[in-house]
Chain A
Amino acid sequence: MGARDLHGPGAPWGADFQVVGRPQRKVDGLAKATGQALYADDIALSGMLHAKTLRSPHAHARILAIDASAALALPGVHAVITGKDLPVRYGVIPWTQDENALAVDKVRFVGDPVAAVAAVDEDTANAALKLIRVEYEPLKAYLDPREALESDGPQIHAGKHGPTNLSKHVELSFGDLEQAFRQADLVVEEDYSFHGTTHTAIEPHCALAQVSADGLLTLWSSTQITHYVHRALAQVLQWPAQKIRVIQPCLGGAFGGKSDPFSLEFCVAKLAALSGRPVKMLWTREEVFYAHRGRHPMQMRYRTAASKDGRILGVDAQILIDGGAYSSYGLITTYYSGQLLTGPYDFPAYRFDSTRVFTNKPPCGPKRGHGSVQPRFAFEVQLDEVAQRLGIDPIEIRRRNFQGENTLTINGQRITSNGFLACLAEVERASGWKEKRGKLAFGRGLGVAGSMYISGTNYPVYPNPLPLSGVQLKVDRSGLVTVFTGGNDIGQGSNSVAAYLVAEELGLPVEHVRVVAADTDLCPVDLGAYSSRVTFMVGNAILDACRKLRRTIVLAVAEAWDVEPTRVRMLGGQVFDLEDPQRSIATAQAFQLAEARFDTLGATGSYKPPELGGDYRGGKIGAAPAYSFSAHVVECQVDLETGRVTVDRVWCAHDCGRALNPMLVAGQIEGSVYMGIAEALLEEHAVNRYGLHAGPSLLDYRIPTALDTPEIEALIVESIDPEGPYGAKEAGEGPLHSSIPALSNAIFDAVGVRLRHLPFTPARVLKALRQAGLPARAPLPAGARR
């Protein structure tokens, strides 16, 4: 077990880092750039079959009968399965397991999987799908969450207490809210809405299963949570977990969209078992849109009480969450919609009342900034309105409400390092806020927003007392160290970070470290790439393991040289005597000395965060060992004739604790801003009036091209967290949050119109401009304000 005093800000030898803090290549960068990297779909096994999924054409229907006999009789078809073959339900949250690999008695959205076929090739499998006859009894479909909540028609799920369209309700209240609103000098109350968006990872989901002659199942899958897939397979297939191996090959992006166990993983496993052949399934882009798990649409009402000097006295939120057809991570989403708003500002009183509802649409789930991007949008726009109405500079009001470092939030979350003020100062400086704000021509504006996000989540999705992350080191006589980690590199660079940390701790060049990750047979458990946890938790486990190993090496060398171990230092691929630097040996020799002296070398390490969180039901949801902070300034222009909003530049300052590789941190900031601005201006994951996805393709679901991407300035703030590895916190999700409200606030600065409902498409912006009485074409002189 990792002792806490082993982690924290510094290397034991001080701040003189050799690897950390410098721009480094990704360990898999060249393989990806040259096409050598193996993604799931690149793997082909001899005799392999190809599988396809039959999907529901109905948004909500009972399945009366399925006849697959003609499909099975088609030459080249090896196996056909339906819900009856995989009747055990699953779901990533143990209390809300409401999914089947293939629909058992009902279908709940257009695209819900109903049957799967394995055949000699994809065309034969597709032909077989057309031969499967399914008899449906269509039911009333719910496309609107409020209607779903209020209707007493046929409900979408059976529910623990009878049929229901209610997925989860959470109401939590902290502090004296009534008093806050009584004392307020200003109360702002408004409605906000966030539309649905999806991840659009460029690699579609793919899984390949093989059952060996001795009955071992191997699954290669484009997942970001190998461990949970491993558990779910054992549960659904009712196979012992020790006979199942799950491997995540190189992954082409995930963003939260690959953090559930998915239908295709169970289907290929079952089809491989039935057919005795390896079976692969690669989803089409359209199928990825049906699998979804993207950002939940939320309808939000916020009420903020403030004093006249701009202090937040109380915040009251009511949120209706459109969950789509299944629970997925929805229980957590519902909590996160309220629990993650209590920073970087001090809330003396706070209440949220969040309701997640099932609808007959592709299921929502976690997308980059899970559950908290939507409330952050609403609140930061509302805070901007408070500032405007009180005549306070929007950056200043955020400073005034700063919660501070080493504090406890109103809902009981422990804040350690907090670089939010530095983030504000950075975006203020870099954007030229003081010089430009209020002096731009009408139609051009600057907006600011701030945010907070978890750096890992303190608890696994299934309760257990085990470490959240474990690693193992294997030492080779050549000087190579291999680190085995269950952590999933989904493109964020966690394998690279693992190599940097081992190299730093053992004084090795990065290329003398190999990383083996996300293979359940080889690697100790890590819970996977979600909640921005991998660098933090795997990183801490690696420091733990490395320091154990280093003690052994140092001891062996000290004995051989007959000096005190404190004199022995590992650095630059050498081991040398600090008091006689001429005396040194190659690390490989040191490994051999240690192996001869002690035994085969290796070490394990792990990380488990301290017990944290509020002492109430749900108080541990949102508890993280550390929190990251961000601030954005957006500069935009609004075309008054077309309603088109153009974002010229975004400055994002992000407190990542310590930038283990500043190049990767900047990349995460840029990617986050790109995605946030895209969600605000272009993307919309919608179903049409028939319940069909409005356009399940990359032509109709518009992600920005390079031409549509603003100039992004990534500003790294290092607060050096006491709990993170060398002080590091997350960087992958936090920097998305405040980009969206900062844009809304910039639009207000540009044209004096508050946009509270996403997305800001030209048609909607134009409508809002007209409603505000803005003439379509009345250019005002520079500096003129409305």
Chain B
Amino acid sequence: MLRLPKFELARPRSIDEAVALLVEAGPSAVVIAGGTDLVPNMKHELVTPELVVSLAAIPGLRGIQGQDDGTLEIGAMTTLSEVAADERVRARAPALAQAASLVAGPQLRAMGTLGGNVLLDTRCQWINQSYFWRSALGFCLKKDGSVCHVVAGGAKCVAAASNDSVPALMTLDAVLELEGPAGSAEVAIEDFWLADGICNKKLAPGTILTAVRIPPTAAGHRGAYGKLRERGSIDFPLLGIAVRLDLEGGAVARADLVVTALAAQPKRLEKAAELLLGTRPGSCDFDQAVEAAAALAYKQCKPLPNIPGDAQWRREMLPVYVRRSLRAAADGSGPVHHL
């Protein structure tokens, strides 16, 4: 078995204490929630912290609050299986419930948290390997090296955003609640991302994600998540697509399409989504708009050979999964998965 490198573990009992520990330790400290992403990355020596700050003993970080106006406030330590099973999430934010239900496998969803999935590190076939393997490769841009093995001569890391929950949260206009040395802050999840696979998040040092807030959705809200992967469980997405269709009087009043696992940050396909506005699911207009949106998605997205799998096939699956996810959202049959 690969060994977990040695580290100090802190179990603060409050957010303030946790932030203070992180500020004091600086870059040599990391936060651990469920650990399902961090622990393998530590075993691969991708992250080599001296201090690991656990959020497990801090009260109030786990659980889902449904407010009267329909807002959902999901604590960052809420497990993915809890998110997937929650009736309020399933009703008000179906794309999120579906995405959470397809992360990894049952054991990992029981440990992994929503906050952890939002903050998941980017992934690449040339980085998520042991230290020995990476040293035999001569390392890469993301850690310990200076070349990119995905894009010849590439100067910017293109490791892929691989968090299933994020595209769903982006269609839901989610807000991230943060606590840091400068106090509380909120950031729209839309504005959280950077096009840099080394670190694709705008998270200031010493800052902790405490909750994810989802604004109310109307009765006509429809959503779905489509996940392309090799197996029926465990695997990270080869492609993830979240869709939102808000219906008013049977017609699409708002549409969103967000895709992930292409490049370092998730991508919102605004033009493709706009094509659906005003169409009525079940009508020819809608079907044609779905086709057009799928074709546009294909044009707009070029998956890189960053994560394992045939990149051209991943691209060809874009229109297929756009079509299937839009239809699934319209008729409430998501998630879209091959099983």
Binding site for B on A (CB under 8 A): 55, 57-58, 110, 122-123, 126, 204, 282, 284-286, 639, 641-644, 646, 682, 690, 692-697, 699-700, 702, 704-705, 707-708, 761-763, 766
For B313, the chain A residues whose CB sits under 8 A away are: 643, 762-763, 766
Segment among B17-25, B131-139, B165-173, B270-278 that sits at the interface with chain A: B131-139
Indicate whether B14 reaches chain A with its CB closer than 8 angstroms: no
Q: Which residue of A lies closest to B105 (CB)?
A: A705
Considering the complex of A and B, which 3 residue pairs feature the smallest CB-CB distances, nearest first?
Answer: A707-B232, A763-B313, A57-B136
Given the interface pairs A642-B320, A643-B313, the reply to whether A705 lies near B231 with Cβ below 8 Å is yes
For B308, the chain A residues whose CB sits under 8 A away are: 694-695, 700
CB distance from B83 to the nearest CB of A (A): 21
Q: Which residue of A lies closest to B132 (CB)?
A: A55
For A55, the chain B residues whose CB sits under 8 A away are: 132
- Count of interface residues, chain B, beta-carbon cutoff 8 Å: 30
CB distance from A492 to the nearest CB of B (A): 25
Q: Which residue of B lies closest to A764 (CB)?
A: B310
Q: B3, B136, B235, B312: which contacts A126 (Cβ < 8 A)?
A: B3
Q: A644, A692, A763: which contacts B309 (Cβ < 8 A)?
A: A763
Indicate whether B202 reaches chain A with its CB closer than 8 angstroms: no
Binding site for A on B (CB under 8 A): 1-3, 6, 105, 125, 128-130, 132-133, 135-137, 230-235, 308-310, 312-313, 316-317, 320, 338-339
For A690, the chain B residues whose CB sits under 8 A away are: 136-137
Whether the pair A766, B316 counts as a contact (CB closer than 8 A) is yes
Whether the pair A708, B132 counts as a contact (CB closer than 8 A) is no
CB distance from B100 to the nearest CB of A (A): 17
Given the interface pairs A122-B3, A284-B2, the reply to whether A702 lies near B338 with Cβ below 8 Å is no
Complex CA–CA separation, A46 to B125 (angstroms): 41
CB distance from A700 to the nearest CB of B (A): 6
Q: Which residue of A lies closest to B230 (CB)?
A: A702
Q: B3, B125, B133, B339: which contacts A286 (Cβ < 8 A)?
A: B133
For A702, the chain B residues whose CB sits under 8 A away are: 230-231, 235
Q: A57, A126, A708: which contacts B231 (Cβ < 8 A)?
A: A708
Whether the pair A761, B231 counts as a contact (CB closer than 8 A) is no
For B338, the chain A residues whose CB sits under 8 A away are: 639, 642, 644, 646
CB distance from A55 to the nearest CB of B (A): 7
Q: B1, B2, B137, B320: which contacts A692 (Cβ < 8 A)?
A: B137
**Knowing that A122-B3, A694-B308, A708-B231 are A-B contacts, what are 8 other residue pairs whose CB atoms are under 8 Å apart, sorted by A's residue number?**
A57-B136, A284-B2, A641-B320, A646-B338, A692-B136, A693-B133, A702-B231, A762-B313
For B1, the chain A residues whose CB sits under 8 A away are: 204, 282, 284-285
Complex CA–CA separation, A285 to B313 (angstroms): 29
Complex CA–CA separation, A734 to B336 (angstroms): 37
For B2, the chain A residues whose CB sits under 8 A away are: 284-286
Complex CA–CA separation, A695 to B124 (angstroms): 11
CB distance from A779 to the nearest CB of B (A): 14
Whether the pair A705, B130 counts as a contact (CB closer than 8 A) is no
Complex CA–CA separation, A282 to B2 (angstroms): 10
Whether the pair B133, A696 counts as a contact (CB closer than 8 A) is yes
Whether the pair A286, B130 counts as a contact (CB closer than 8 A) is yes
Q: Which residue of A lies closest to B136 (CB)?
A: A57
CB distance from A403 to the nearest CB of B (A): 39
CB distance from A774 to the nearest CB of B (A): 14
Q: A110, A697, A708: which contacts B232 (Cβ < 8 A)?
A: A708
Complex CA–CA separation, A646 to B234 (angstroms): 18
Given the interface pairs A284-B2, A642-B320, A643-B313, the reply to whether A705 lies near B136 with Cβ below 8 Å is no
Complex CA–CA separation, A55 to B129 (angstroms): 15
Q: Which residue of B lies closest to A643 (CB)?
A: B313
For B137, the chain A residues whose CB sits under 8 A away are: 690, 692
Complex CA–CA separation, A696 to B230 (angstroms): 17
Q: Which residue of A lies closest to B4 (CB)?
A: A123
CB distance from A298 to the nearest CB of B (A): 22
For B320, the chain A residues whose CB sits under 8 A away are: 641-642
For B129, the chain A residues whose CB sits under 8 A away are: 695-697
Q: Jot down 12 A-B pairs with beta carbons below 8 A, ordered by A.
A: A123-B6, A204-B1, A285-B1, A641-B320, A642-B317, A695-B129, A699-B234, A700-B308, A707-B339, A708-B233, A761-B230, A763-B313
Complex CA–CA separation, A761 to B135 (angstroms): 30
Complex CA–CA separation, A694 to B137 (angstroms): 11
Q: Which residue of B lies closest to A123 (CB)?
A: B3
Complex CA–CA separation, A144 to B338 (angstroms): 34
Complex CA–CA separation, A462 to B247 (angstroms): 76
Complex CA–CA separation, A766 to B309 (angstroms): 14
Which of B133, B135, B232 has the largest count of A CB atoms less than 10 A from its CB? B133
For B312, the chain A residues whose CB sits under 8 A away are: 763
CB distance from A29 to the nearest CB of B (A): 24
CB distance from B36 to the nearest CB of A (A): 12
Q: Which residue of A lies closest to B135 (CB)?
A: A57
Complex CA–CA separation, A699 to B307 (angstroms): 12
Q: Which residue of B lies closest to A765 (CB)?
A: B313
For A58, the chain B residues whose CB sits under 8 A away are: 136
For B233, the chain A residues whose CB sits under 8 A away are: 705, 707-708
CB distance from A87 to the nearest CB of B (A): 25
Complex CA–CA separation, A126 to B308 (angstroms): 29
For B128, the chain A residues whose CB sits under 8 A away are: 699
Q: Which residue of B lies closest to A126 (CB)?
A: B3
CB distance from A786 to the nearest CB of B (A): 21
Complex CA–CA separation, A693 to B126 (angstroms): 11
Whether the pair A707, B136 counts as a contact (CB closer than 8 A) is no
Q: Which residue of A lies closest to B339 (CB)?
A: A707
For A642, the chain B residues whose CB sits under 8 A away are: 317, 320, 338
Complex CA–CA separation, A284 to B1 (angstroms): 4
Complex CA–CA separation, A546 to B312 (angstroms): 64
CB distance from A338 to the nearest CB of B (A): 33
Complex CA–CA separation, A57 to B105 (angstroms): 33
Q: B6, B125, B231: which contacts A704 (Cβ < 8 A)?
A: B231
For A695, the chain B residues whose CB sits under 8 A away are: 125, 129, 308
Complex CA–CA separation, A70 to B63 (angstroms): 52
Complex CA–CA separation, A761 to B232 (angstroms): 14
Complex CA–CA separation, A165 to B19 (angstroms): 60
For A204, the chain B residues whose CB sits under 8 A away are: 1
For A694, the chain B residues whose CB sits under 8 A away are: 125, 308
CB distance from B147 to the nearest CB of A (A): 12
Complex CA–CA separation, A287 to B308 (angstroms): 20
Which of B129, B312, B339 has the largest count of A CB atoms less than 10 A from its CB? B129
Whether the pair B234, A705 counts as a contact (CB closer than 8 A) is yes
Q: Which residue of B lies closest to A693 (CB)?
A: B133
Q: A110, A284, A697, A766: which contacts B136 (Cβ < 8 A)?
A: A110
Complex CA–CA separation, A705 to B132 (angstroms): 28
For B6, the chain A residues whose CB sits under 8 A away are: 123
Whether the pair A286, B132 counts as a contact (CB closer than 8 A) is yes
Q: Which residue of A lies closest to B321 (CB)?
A: A642
For A705, the chain B residues whose CB sits under 8 A away are: 105, 231-234
Whether the pair A682, B234 counts as a contact (CB closer than 8 A) is no
Whether the pair A682, B105 counts as a contact (CB closer than 8 A) is no
Complex CA–CA separation, A57 to B135 (angstroms): 7
CB distance from B219 to the nearest CB of A (A): 32
Q: Which residue of B lies closest to A204 (CB)?
A: B1
CB distance from B282 to the nearest CB of A (A): 19
Whether the pair B339, A761 counts as a contact (CB closer than 8 A) is no
For B232, the chain A residues whose CB sits under 8 A away are: 705, 707-708
Q: Which residue of B lies closest to A762 (CB)?
A: B313
Complex CA–CA separation, A708 to B233 (angstroms): 8
Whether the pair B231, A707 counts as a contact (CB closer than 8 A) is yes
Complex CA–CA separation, A704 to B230 (angstroms): 9
Q: Which residue of A lies closest to B130 (CB)?
A: A286
For A126, the chain B residues whose CB sits under 8 A away are: 3
Whether the pair B310, A57 counts as a contact (CB closer than 8 A) is no
Complex CA–CA separation, A643 to B105 (angstroms): 24
Complex CA–CA separation, A57 to B136 (angstroms): 4
Complex CA–CA separation, A695 to B308 (angstroms): 9
CB distance from A285 to the nearest CB of B (A): 8
Complex CA–CA separation, A762 to B228 (angstroms): 11
For B316, the chain A residues whose CB sits under 8 A away are: 766
Complex CA–CA separation, A373 to B140 (angstroms): 39
